[in-house]
Each structure stands twice: as C-alpha cells, then as structure tokens.
Structure 1
Amino acid sequence: MAAGGPSPKSIAFVGVVTLIVLATTGVWNPFPRLWTWITQTDPIAADAASWQTAIGGSPQTVTITGGTVVIEYRTSIEAYGLTGGVPLWKSDADWAGVVGTGPDAVVVTGRMLTAGYEVLDPATGQVRRKDPAAKAVWTYSDALLDLRCPRSNECELRAWDPRGTEPRWQVAAPGIGFVLDASNPDLPDTQPLGAAGVDRRAGGPGVLPHLIGLPGDGKVQIIDTAQGRVAQTRTADHNQRIAVAGSRVLTVTGESRDGTCYYDVIAHASDAGRPVWQREGLNLRTAGDGNACEQDRDPAGGSNVLLGVGPTGREELISAHDGRDLWRGDKGQRVFAVDNSYALIRSADGKTLSSWSFSRGEVAWRRAAGPEASAALTPYAAIVVEQKPARIVALSPRTGKVLTEARTDAKVFAAGPEGLILVSGRDMAYLPYGSSPAR
C-alpha cells in the first residue's frame, strides 16, 4: 500500500531548494539575517556598556586617545569612534603605538623586519609624517623616540613632539647594534605588576622618563632625555642587572651562597658619581627561580617606586629617588598594583583591598575583596577584577568611589579618562564612567 503523503525529508529538501531559488533570483534572501542570528554573541556588559561591536580579531593592544579607539592586531591596525564604536579606518601595518594624548595624539605604525614608520591622524588614518630609516620607536604621552642604525655600531636616538616635524634633539648611541626593533622594545626599567583580566598596557602611554637605558653589546647607555645626551655607560657583571628607575640608575647584585641569594642594590644619579643610596638585603625580584641568582628580570613598580622584599620576607615599597621606605607591609600583605602615586594592597587575611597614598603616607580607602580578586592601577581608574561571580569594578584611585561596574568575564584592554574598553573574543564594548552598575 502506498504511503499517505510526502516524507519530512522530502518536504525539507523542497524547502531548501525553494529558499535557494528565491535568494539567487533576488526575490528574497533570508541568509544574511539567518547568519547574523546564528553568530550573534551575548552582551559583554548589558547593564553598563554604551555600545558593543564586533572587531577584526584578538587584539594585541587597545588604546583610547581622544575620541578614537586604536586596536593593534598581529597583522593589521583598526580605529573605531569612541562615541558609538563605528569603524573609522584600517591599516595593514604589523605594529602600532599611540603617542600623545587628547587632540595632540597620533598613531605610529610600521612593519616587522622593515625599517621606517608612519605617523597617522587617529581620527582619519591620514599620514602626517613618514620616516624611512628608523628601526625602533618608543611611544609616550608627551614624546616619540626613534632609533636609526645605519650600521651595527652606529646608531642615533631622536626625540619628537607627538605632532612635531623636526626632532627635539638627537644623540649618537654607538655600540647598540641591531638588538632593538619595532614598537616599544623592552628597555631596562621598572615593569608594572600584572593583574588577571587587565592588560598590562591598559593605562596607555606613560610620560617620557628623565632617564632611559639603551641596551646592547653587554652595555647599557644611559640617556638623559631632558638634555638629549648620553649621561653614562654601564656594564653589568655576570651576577648583576642594570635598571633605570625615575632619575636613578640601579645596579642590582645577587650572590649565591649557602643555598640562597644575597642581594645588594646601589642607586646612582645620571652623572655616575658617588651612590645616592644603597640597600643590603633588598630583593627586587630580578632573579629567576632557583639558586643561580641570575638577574634576568627588571624590578617591578612604578617609574619612581620600587617593589621589593626585605630580609624578613615582607614586601616593601621604596622611593627610587632616595631609597626611603614609602610603605612596609605586615606579614602576609601583598601589593597588587603600584604606580608613582598609589599602591593597591591586599590584607593578610585576603578579605580587604586598600589604597595607600604616597603623598599622604596613609590609607586612602578600603573595600572588601573576594578571595580570587586581582587589581590594577591606571592613571584614570583603579580596576578590581572579581571572580565567582565575574565582575569588573573601576574606582577613583584617590577616593575609591565607584566609577563603573559590570558583571562580565571580559578583559579590560584600555582605561581612558571617561571609560573602559572591554574585549571578549571578537567583541568590544565601551563602559563609560557613571554608567548604571550591574547589581
């Protein structure tokens, strides 16, 4: 006996064929909307974000400058409008950095293994200046440094205003060699502490330090950036590390004896005269694990503040300028983040996060913190990342007032004067300060 009607598979097949015919003839095409529905993602921070948009990949860095959000990928650069997340321009450069702040800011781009760079307008992507020869650049909120090396033992360092057309100064830096390239190659200075859920460069470019160190050929040339001159050249022994902190040149020595490391820190001024200060037994955590005491890390801290561990095993914050203690912790206290103005410190019982003001020499504010919380400091906000449930809270570094908060597991990639940029997968959202908190 024959079946009583068409099978479900036959009906489905006829339906698919009909949709294809309608789409190819231009009568009706449901596929774009269908694909958008399939691939749409959940809101990053529905109660706090003013906008959310899809981006071109996983970012390397994100920087807020004026009304523009600049995104650096591995093989391209994109810019979006800060007001509504609208795409502004795109470049196929390999690296980028932002120089300056506000209306004076520019974007510097270049290609890997290729000399030269371009200076672009952040809002339009138009080229303002080109340099065909520089092989490395460093980006700051008030200056651009570039390095040209026509030969391996002949280099020249130049300083530029963000939108300048002529260098402020230029200085010969012989003996550096081809060891520095692309955007912001590592220099022997202090490094910020890391925080889970917050990019290390979220605060944007910092101010040009008074001194920088150029490494190469086993030496470190100390450059006075105010005067544009080589102030001194230092050579470290096998158990030493040279680092620049603020206006001081640090020599950190670690000797292995009795199964442990013994440390000594000496700080010199730019003129390399007598030591300005010296501390025995101060561990700046410049050595890796083990007993070899090999100095393979830069000290942590702000540019003028050092994070160390004293002989008793308790954390300390030290002024790089004169070596005095700015804060000395109790047993079990831990510094989460530090800059030149504040430090975020977790209590020994792990339940409280406090902000220590260096100018006041006292606690500025306190708040409860979960057992897995982490925190970071930027010029515009102290950022606390909570777990279980996932939450991001931006606070005033001075008062602890909540600027914005959201329930989200997205990562904070940038903190600007008026809000945060969060990224989750290939989606980006903007959380302005003062937005409604997610309760």
Structure 2
Amino acid sequence: MAKVGGLRLRGWFLLSLVTVVALAATGVWNPFPAVWDWVDRSEPISEPDVLWQQRVGGTPKSVTIAGDAVVVEQRTRVEARSLATGAQLWERKADWSAVAGGDRDPVVAVGKLLVKGYELLDPVTGATRRRDGDAVAVWTYRNLLLDARCVEATDCTLSAWEPRGTRPLWTAFLPGVSAGLFADNPDLLGTRRLTTPRIEDEVAGPEAVPPLLGFPVDGRVHVVDTATGRVLQDVEAGREERLAVIGGRLLRLKAVAQDGACAFTLTAHDPANGREVWRRTGLNLRTADSAGCAQREDPQGARNVLIGVAPDGREAVVDGYDGRLLQVNGEGQKLIAVDDRYALVRTADKRSIVARELGADRTRWTRRSGGRGGGGALTPYAAVLVEEKPNRLIALHPRTGKELLVLRSSADALAVGPEGMVIGEGREIGYVRFGAGGAQPAPPNGDGRDDPAPGPGAPGEVPGDGPGDSPGDEGSCGPKRELCPEPDPKDG
C-alpha cells in the first residue's frame, strides 16, 4: 500500500508540473519569475534598510543623482533608475556617460570611445535632447557643458552650452587638443582631490564650472575664461615648473633640489596680464614624487583652494585667488576633506573629526569617531564619513554637524543628492533618504547649498611667510572678484 501511495503522489506531482508549464507557455499564469526572484533575492546592504535596492547589469563605474533619476554608468552601457522606486527607466549602449546640469535641468551625455560625437539624453525618459556628431571631448558641470571639435590636429574649437541649451553660448579657438583629451571629462590643469576608500571621487555630482580653465596642448597651457570664451593666455612651463589654473589664477609651481630636499616656490599670476599677484615659499603642494623633485601630479585641493604642507609638517589650506591661509592644522592633525567652505580635520589622537569654517577661524562642529576611523568627503548637501570595525556610513549637515543618516553597512557611498544618498556593494545599489535610522534631516537653503562663509580672515600663518587678507569675499565681489580691487603683490 505504501508503494501505491508513493506512485500516486508522484503522479499528482508530475500532473501538477505539466499543468503549470502549460499555463506558463500559454501566458495564462507564470509563477517562475516570482520564484526566481525569491531564490535570487539579495541580502539588504545596510541597516536600517534602504528605501529600495536593485541589482544592476554590471559593476558601476559611476553613479550620479540627476533630478528624479539615478544614472548608473557601466563598462559598455548606461542605465537610469527612478530615484523614488529604483525601477529601471531606460538603458543605452555606451562606453562613457557623464551628467551635466543641476537638480532642475540635468542631462546625460553618452558616447563611444574613439568615435566622434555624443548625445544628450533626458535622465528620466532617455529621450535624445541634442545630438552632436563631431566633438572629441566633453566636460560636464552643474551650470555648463563644454565640448571640443577639431577640423585638423591643430585646428580645434571649444564650445560652451547651457546644459539643456540648443545654441552655444560662445566658441573659442584652440590650436589642437592634447592626445589625452577625449571622451568625458578628460583631465585639465586644476586640483587633485583628496580621496578615501568607500567614498566615490564623484560622490558630490557635477560642480559649478570654475571661472578659468587650463587646457594642456603640446606642452603649453591655454587659459580660457569660461564666462566669455576668451583665451587669456598661452603659456609654457619653465624648467622645474608645473602649471595649474585654480581660483581664477595661473599658478606656477617650482620645485628645485636643494640640500637633499625639494625647495618649493608657488607664484600666482593674473592671467589677463601675466602680473604676479602673490607668492609663497616652502609650501609643499605634493606635486613631486618621493624619487626627486620632478612634478608629475596636480596640486591637492578642491575647487578654488589648495592643500599644502609647511616646513614644520603642518597641513594648510590656501586660497588660490589671493594666497590667504584659510586653515592651518595643529600638530598631528590631518585633513580628510576640503571644499570652498569647510575643512574636515582628524584630530591628533584620531578620536574625533572637526569641521572648520575656512577663513573664519571657527570650529563648526566636532564628532567623536566610533570604531576605527576612516575618511570623509564634503558635498553641497552633506558631509559623508566612513568608519570601520564596526562599518558605518554617516551623513551630517555640513554646517551644523546634525545627523542626517547613520547606516550600519560595508557598502560604498556612491552619490549624494538633496534628500538622500545612493550606496552600493558590487552590483547592488540602494537609495536611502536622509532621516533614516532616527536621524532628522536639517535641509540646506533653498538652492540646496549652505550659507556662504562670512568675510575673509586667516586663522594663522605658516611661520615666516604669507600675504595679508584681500578686500571682500566672493559673495560681495562677484564670482571672480571683479568688483573688488586687485591686491598688491606680496612675497613671503
């Protein structure tokens, strides 16, 4: 009897399986996708759980919040997902992609390597807003998009566009484009960001275009005014020099071997007339490698500020426009992040993170570091910190230090937007809103940014060096300080 019962059970199972297959084949009912989703369901990548979590087609190269969409760049394609639900909105084959524009007017530039041209897509619909068939390089900013096209190797045109514009704002002639300038956002001569594990370099998304950009062409630097397209200077680095365009100035960084060490001299010049406007000596901008004084790296910094090391080993933040010392660390302290407004400093005992307001000699907030301290990053919407053992991702209001988000997670911080953050681990990405885990968001001002820092004032000087303060600040003098008189040149 037991054998007969077993045969009946097996028969019912086979009959049920055949019935399900028949229903699935005819489209009446198909349970297999739901079953597979249950089998393939991923573990949550954070605690508290994210608002949504999705597995993308490949390991992301970059992730950017673009308005109501999350743009995910992969090796051979780009896709967009809904910021609200994580559902895929569209997908395109592409070798590179980059986001331009702000929260209200974002676009996605896509293209193929070694193929001229690009397309600008709507982040939500994927529809083509503008198509170009000739450009060899594209640079994307929050308020501008630049592209370069070349008729011949020595005959190139640089054009500036509003992110969703259909006509160029201006065009400028460049005598060629460096062999390395192709695809999206090729390196220009500016600053090199501080980096940290588990936080993507482009976590803040596109930034506002600087007042001046330095384009390297055949060993020379062409300085372009981004407001008018005027090429202000075409200069060549001298022996033992490296050039950089930062804070509206052309900087000449000289490193000379002397007594078994490198002697550094930094001079800033007005690109309109070539006149020297400030100078500092003895400040190591970390451009030279340890093997000698050959400068192979851009100076460290962000936007309009530079990071240097004084002869006594203390780190300092320098204003690229006027040479003021905006922040000087105490002995044993270390900078972990900087932008035009604030600096995040790890204390000498490595137990706390301090946020300093640049140029104001003021501590905004201090936070104790739990576990083994990691690094940090500053974005317009949040200061992001990572901790290890135990693993944490923390988002704080950059001005007040108020908790926006505390996650127990080993995932990376991929992108920060006005209302939350995208995190990821492998092919898994997820979005979490500020306020998760009990933390309450303290929203920035209406434009998504903090209040600007008050007027200038240097908190300290590297011994034996440094110019005085310059009149006015960016808020009262205009974006390029054109409303304020030029400071007199001062040597250290």
Q: What's 1:38 paired with?
A: 39
Q: Equivalent residues in 2 for 1:81-100 (5 A)?
A: 81-100=82-101
Structure 1: distance between partners of 2:157 and 2:239: 28
Q: What's 1:326 paired with?
A: 326
Q: Equivalent residues in 2 for 1:175-324 (5 A)?
A: 175-290=176-291, 292-324=292-324
Question: How far did residue 336 of structure 1 move?
Answer: 0.2
Counterpart residue identity of residue 357, structure 1: E
How many equivalent pairs are there? 432
Distance 1:23 1:245, change over 3 A: same
Structure 2: distance between partners of 1:322 and 1:15: 85
Counterpart residue identity of residue 308, structure 1: G
Structure 2: distance between partners of 1:177 and 1:346: 39
Higher mean displacement: 396-405 or 46-55: 46-55
Counterpart residue identity of residue 182, structure 1: A
Q: Does the CA-based 8 Å contact 1:56-1:426 persist in structure 2?
A: yes
CA RMSD of aligned residues (A): 2.3
Question: How far did residue 296 of structure 1 move?
Answer: 0.9
Query: Can you list the C-alpha shifts for 1:51-90, whole angstroms capped at 9, x where unaligned?
Result: 1122121111111121111111111010011111111111
Higher mean displacement: 170-179 or 23-32: 23-32
Higher mean displacement: 343-352 or 239-248: 239-248
Higher mean displacement: 294-303 or 112-121: 294-303
Structure 2: distance between partners of 1:248 and 1:57: 41
Query: Can you list the C-alpha shifts for 1:189-214, whole angstroms capped at 9, x where unaligned?
Result: 01221121110101000001100011
Counterpart residue identity of residue 324, structure 1: R
Counterpart residue identity of residue 238, structure 2: D
Distance 1:270 1:53, change over 3 A: same
Q: Find the residue that maps to 1:198 and give its secondary structure.
A: coil
Query: Can you list the C-alpha shifts for 1:8-60, whole angstroms capped at 9, x where unaligned?
Result: 9x9xx999988875664447976544433332211112425211122121111
Q: Does the CA-based 8 Å contact 1:179-1:216 persist in structure 2?
A: no
Q: Find the residue that maps to 2:301 and give its secondary structure.
A: coil
Distance 1:107 1:256, change over 3 A: same
Counterpart residue identity of residue 297, structure 1: E
Q: What's 1:378 paired with?
A: 379
Distance 1:29 1:22, change over 3 A: farther
Higher mean displacement: 221-230 or 172-181: 172-181
Structure 1: distance between partners of 2:42 and 2:319: 47
Structure 2: distance between partners of 1:272 and 1:48: 57
Structure 2: distance between partners of 1:437 and 1:359: 33
Counterpart residue identity of residue 137, structure 1: V
Question: How far did residue 404 of structure 1 move?
Answer: 1.1
Structure 2: distance between partners of 1:138 and 1:171: 15
Structure 2: distance between partners of 1:189 and 1:390: 33
Q: What's 2:147 paired with?
A: 146
Uncovered stretches (5+) of structure 1, i.e. residues with no partner: none
Question: How far did residue 313 of structure 1 move?
Answer: 1.3
Q: Does the CA-based 8 Å contact 1:355-1:365 persist in structure 2?
A: yes
Question: How far did residue 177 of structure 1 move?
Answer: 4.4
Q: What's 2:345 paired with?
A: 345
Distance 1:71 1:224, change over 3 A: same
Q: What's 2:110 paired with?
A: 109
Q: Find the residue that maps to 1:436 and give its secondary structure.
A: helix
Q: Does the CA-based 8 Å contact 1:224-1:270 persist in structure 2?
A: no
TM-score by length of 1: 0.93
Structure 2: distance between partners of 1:57 and 1:20: 34
Q: Equivalent residues in 2 for 1:51-70 (5 A)?
A: 51-70=52-71
Counterpart residue identity of residue 160, structure 1: W
Question: How far did residue 151 of structure 1 move?
Answer: 0.8
Question: How many percent identity over aligned positions?
Answer: 43
